Amino acid sequence: MSSEIAISCKGVGKAFQLYLKRNDQLYQALFGRWKQFYHPHWVLRDVSFDVRRGETWGIIGRNGTGKTTLLQLICGISKPSHGDISVSGRIAPILALGAGFDLELTGRENALIGGAILGLRRKEIIPKLPSIAAFADIGEFFNQPLKMYSSGMTARLAFAVCAHADADILIVDEALSVGDATFAKKCDDYIRNFAEKGTILVVSHDLKTLEELCDNVIWIDEGRVAAVGKPADVITAYRRAFNITKLVTAPRLVV
């Protein structure tokens, strides 16, 4: 395990702009230099931690505490309101699966788009297409327009693209459905294998899996870091705080 920092968050905060009146957003755009027309809603405040290369970190917390928002900030989908985030390496984000896909294009064409979004060149993606198709396991639909796909098939394709991104860092949000039990196991196996060589940051309510998989766990509560440290210590404190009597309180890591 390297001592090099793969992900660093320093004093990260995120606030969304809430507008109470219909025209306030327009007024903010026109006159925001002189007056504020929105109310800030803070989702994250002063979050700081460092993930070293090769480590697996879990993020726990109740729903609505800012866990997914934190992943989006790290992936660059959104920008923090204050603080600094630095990432060293290529990220494969297993969240917002299918974002950027075009419904009119085929699965094959969307695989090319997805690979490009993840930073792969066309000449790198094309040789991977047979393997992506095999991983997604959607048969002839791989050559059909995405508008013919179910949501599960779209997620399968997107996960398959992420799995072939040659990434250094895997970002996983368990709140996503990627198909039936057989495909779920394939995804679960991929994540566990990736953990042996890469860096992983995963949001999950599956406390048992996190305790087995992670080097460290960070507990986010009401947008702030409530605790960070070894999985057994943080998970025990979390369970006591909310009177959680079972280790497994949610479906598996990938469902």
Superfamily of domain 5-241: P-loop containing nucleotide triphosphate hydrolases (3.40.50.300)
Measured in whole angstroms, the distance separating CA 230 from the mean position of its chain's CA atoms is 21
Calculated CA dihedral for residues 137, 96, 116, 254, nearest 10 degrees: -40
**pLDDT tens digit sequence for 170-186:** 998 865 555 577 888 88
What pLDDT was estimated at residue 248? Answer: 45
What pLDDT was estimated at residue 176? Answer: 52
pLDDT at 246 over 70: no
Give this prediction's pTM: 0.82
Listed by start position, the domains of the chain span 5-241
pLDDT at 1 over 60: no
Asked whether the CA dihedral 3, 66, 237, 211 is positive or negative, the reply is negative
Longest dimension (CA), the chain: 57
What pLDDT was estimated at residue 149? Answer: 92
pLDDT at 251 over 50: no
What pLDDT was estimated at residue 104? Answer: 95
Residues 6 or more apart from 137 whose CB is under 8 A from it? 156, 183, 186
Query: Confidence class of residue 96 from pLDDT cuts 50, 70 and 90?
Result: low
Residue that wins the pLDDT comparison between 176 and 42: 42
